[in-house]
C-alpha cells in the first residue's frame, strides 16, 4: 500500500495499484448503485476521481456523512477510467470521513467572484484559482533563488524594522511602544527618546540601503522579504504589505544592471512555464486567454531599451488621449507604461535616464546634471514591474543630492561612509513579487495573488 499525494497517484499507470489518498471533497454525485466524488489534496490542480461501487462495498454511512468540503481518507485500487476527463480513477475499498463539512460550506459548485472570495480568505485556497496561485508563487520563489544561487549571489536578510526612510517618500508605517492615547512630549512634540529604540522607527519600504552595505563587502547579494508601504492609492497594483526581491551588485554599471534584470525575468518565466505547466494552462484557459504564448514570446525576446526622453517623444507622437500629462519632467503613469509596452514595442521595455526630480536621491547623476541612471522595466498589461538604478558612488555628489532632496545628511552617515571607504560603481533593482505573479497569472487584482492581502481598510485575516 502506497501513501501518496494525488499528483503522484495521477502519474501511476492504472494497473490495479493499491493506493491511499487523503484530501478534501470537491464534488459528490450519489446514485442508487454508485457514488462518484472528486478529491483534491492541493498537490496539483487536477482532482482524483473516486468511484464507490455500492453493490460491491458497503460504505453507505460514510457516503452520507461526506459532504462537499469534508476531509477524507480513501483506500482502493487504481483503474483505467472510462471517462474522458481523466486517465485513471480510484475504485474505493474503504472510506473514512475525517472531518465533516457543515452544509453551509460556502464553496459549493457554483463559481464565486474574486471579491466574494476575498471575504473568505481562510477558504479561498481550496478553490482551483487560489490553489494554482499558491503553487505558482512557490515555483517562482524557488526560481528566484536558483537564478541568484547559480550565479554566486549571497541571500541577505535585511531588517524589517528600520530607522531610515529609503525612498524619502513618507509612505512608512511607524512602529512604537509609546502609549498612543497619551504619548510623552517635549515642547509639544512626541518624545521619541522614550520610545523602545530611543528614536522614530518604521517598517521597511526597501532593503536596498542594507543590500548596498553587503554588496560593498560580498560583491553580489540579494534580499527577498516583506516590504511595507502606506500607499493610500486604492489601485489594483499596490499592496500595503508586499514581497520584494532586491539584488545589489558591486562593480556593475547600469548596462550590467539591465542585462541581469532581463535575464532574471526570463529565467523565472521559463522555470514557471516548465515546472508549473498545469497551473499555467489553467490560467491560460480560465483567466487570460493567450497568456502562455505572450509569456513565451517575452522569454525568448530581447527587451527594448530606451531613454526616458525617447519615451516622452513616443508618447507625444501618440494618437491616444492620455489622462496624465506627457511633458518632459512628468512621471510616467501606468497608462503611459502600458502604451509603450503594448502599442509601441509589443513587449517589455527598459526605460533609463529619468529626470532626477522624479527619482530617489541615491541614483547616479548623469553628466548632464538633469537625469539619473534609473532603469525601470515595463511589461505589457502591468506597466512597471522592476525599478532600479546605478547608485551614486561619488561621495560629494551623493552628499549634495541628499541635501537637495530635503533629507538630513547626518541620518545617512553610514551610507556616505560606503563612498569614503573603497567606493565602487554598483547597481541594483527591486522586483515586486506580487506584481510579477499578477503578470504571469493574468490575475486582474494584486489582492488575489498574495495569500492575505493588506491594503487601505483591509487587514482581515
Residues ≥6 apart with Cβ < 8 Å to 168: 360, 361, 405, 406, 407
- Asked if 419 is part of the footprint of ligand ATP (rule: CB under 6 A), the reply reads no
Q: Rounded distance, CA 72 to CA 65, Å?
A: 10
What is the residue-wise DSSP string for 160-175?
Answer: SEESS-SS-SS-PPEE
- Asked if 244 is part of the footprint of ligand ATP (rule: CB under 6 A), the reply reads yes
Closer residue to ligand ATP (CB): 238 or 419: 238
Sole binder of ligand ATP in the list 97, 386, 443, 449 (CB under 6 A): 386
Q: Which three cell numbers stand for residue 104?
A: 453551509
Contact letters for ligand ATP, residues 192-231 (x by CB under 6 A): -------------------------------------x-x
Closer residue to ligand ATP (CB): 26 or 137: 137
Q: Which three cell numbers stand for residue 180?
A: 498612543
- Asked if 93 is part of the footprint of ligand ATP (rule: CB under 6 A), the reply reads no
In the complex, what is the shortest distance from the CB of residue 333 to ligand ATP, in angstroms, rounded to a whole number? 9
Closer residue to ligand ATP (CB): 153 or 192: 153
How many residues interact with ligand ATP (rule CB under 6 A)? 16
Sole binder of ligand ATP in the list 430, 439, 442, 448 (CB under 6 A): 430
Helix or strand or coil: residue 217? helix
Q: Rounded distance, CA 302 to CA 347, Å?
A: 9
What is the residue-wise DSSP string for 351-419?
Answer: EEEEEGGGS-TTBPBPTTSSEEEEEEEEETTTEEEEEEEEBP--HHHHHHHHHHTT--GGGGHHHHHTT
- Asked if 264 is part of the footprint of ligand ATP (rule: CB under 6 A), the reply reads no
Ordered strands of the 154-155 beta sheet? 154-155, 220-228, 241-250, 426-432, 383-390, 371-379, 349-355, 304-307
Contact letters for ligand ATP, residues 322-361 (x by CB under 6 A): ----------------------------------------
**Interacting span for ligand ATP (CB under 6 A) from 130-138, 299-307, 385-393, 404-412:** 385-393
Q: Which residues bind ligand ATP (CB under 6 A)?
A: 167, 229, 231, 238-239, 242, 244, 384-387, 430-432, 434-435
Amino acid at each position: 500500500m502506497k501513501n501518496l499525494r494525488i499528483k503522484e497517484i495521477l502519474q501511476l499507470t492504472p494497473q490495479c495499484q493499491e493506493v491511499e489518498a487523503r484530501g478534501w471533497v470537491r464534488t459528490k454525485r450519489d446514485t442508487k448503485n454508485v457514488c462518484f466524488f472528486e478529491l483534491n489534496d492541493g498537490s496539483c490542480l487536477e482532482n482524483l476521481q473516486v468511484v464507490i461501487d455500492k453493490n460491491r462495498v458497503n460504505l453507505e454511512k460514510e457516503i452520507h456523512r461526506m459532504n462537499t468540503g469534508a476531509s477524507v481518507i480513501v483506500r482502493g485500487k487504481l483503474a483505467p477510467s472510462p471517462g474522458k476527463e481523466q486517465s485513471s480513477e480510484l475504485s474505493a475499498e474503504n472510506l473514512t470521513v475525517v472531518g465533516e463539512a457543515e452544509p453551509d460550506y460556502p464553496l459549493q459548485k457554483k463559481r464565486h467572484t474574486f471579491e466574494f472570495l476575498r471575504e473568505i480568505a481562510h477558504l479561498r485556497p481550496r478553490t482551483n484559482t487560489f490553489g494554482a496561485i499558491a503553487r505558482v508563487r512557490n515555483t517562482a520563489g524557488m526560481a528566484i533563488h536558483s537564478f541568484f544561487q547559480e550565479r554566486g549571489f549571497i541571500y541577505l536578510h535585511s531588517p524589517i524594522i528600520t530607522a531610515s526612510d529609503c525612498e524619502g517618500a513618507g509612505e512608512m508605517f511607524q512602529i512604537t511602544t509609546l502609549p498612543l492615547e497619551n504619548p510623552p512630549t517635549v515642547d509639544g512634540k512626541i518624545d521619541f527618546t522614550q520610545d523602545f529604540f530611543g528614536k522614530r522607527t518604521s517598517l521597511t519600504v526597501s532593503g536596498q540601503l542594507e543590500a548596498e552595505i553587503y554588496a560593498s563587502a560580498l560583491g553580489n547579494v540579494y534580499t527577498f522579504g516583506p516590504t511595507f508601504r502606506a500607499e493610500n492609492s486604492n489601485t489594483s497594483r499596490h499592496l500595503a504589505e508586499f514581497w520584494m526581491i532586491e539584488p545589489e551588485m558591486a562593480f556593475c554599471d547600469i548596462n550590467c544592471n539591465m542585462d541581469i534584470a532581463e535575464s532574471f525575468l526570463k529565467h523565472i518565466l521559463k522555470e514557471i512555464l516548465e515546472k508549473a505547466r498545469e497551473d499555467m494552462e489553467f490560467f491560460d484557459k480560465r483567466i487570460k486567454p493567450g497568456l502562455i504564448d505572450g509569456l513565451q514570446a517575452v522569454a525568448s525576446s530581447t527587451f527594448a531599451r530606451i531613454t526616458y526622453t525617447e519615451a516622452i517623444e513616443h508618447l507625444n507622437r501618440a494618437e491616444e488621449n492620455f489622462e496624465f500629462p506627457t511633458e518632459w519632467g512628468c512621471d510616467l503613469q501606468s497608462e503611459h507604461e502600458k502604451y509603450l509596452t503594448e502599442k509601441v514595442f509589443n513587449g517589455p521595455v527598459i526605460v533609463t535616464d529619468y529626470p532626477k526630480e522624479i527619482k530617489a536621491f541615491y541614483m547616479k547623476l548623469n553628466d548632464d546634471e538633469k537625469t539619473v541612471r534609473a532603469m525601470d522595466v515595463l511589461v505589457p498589461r502591468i506597466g512597471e514591474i522592476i525599478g532600479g538604478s546605478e547608485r551614486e558612488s561619488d561621495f560629494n555628489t551623493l552628499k549634495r543630492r541628499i541635501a537637495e532632496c530635503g533629507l538630513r545628511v547626518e541620518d545617512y552617515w553610514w551610507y556616505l561612509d560606503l563612498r569614503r571607504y573603497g567606493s565602487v560603481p554598483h547597481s541594483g533593482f527591486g522586483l515586486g513579487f506580487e506584481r510579477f505573479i499578477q503578470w504571469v497569472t493574468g490575475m486582474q487584482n494584486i489582492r488575489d495573488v498574495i495569500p492575505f492581502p493588506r491594503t487601505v481598510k483591509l487587514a482581515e485575516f
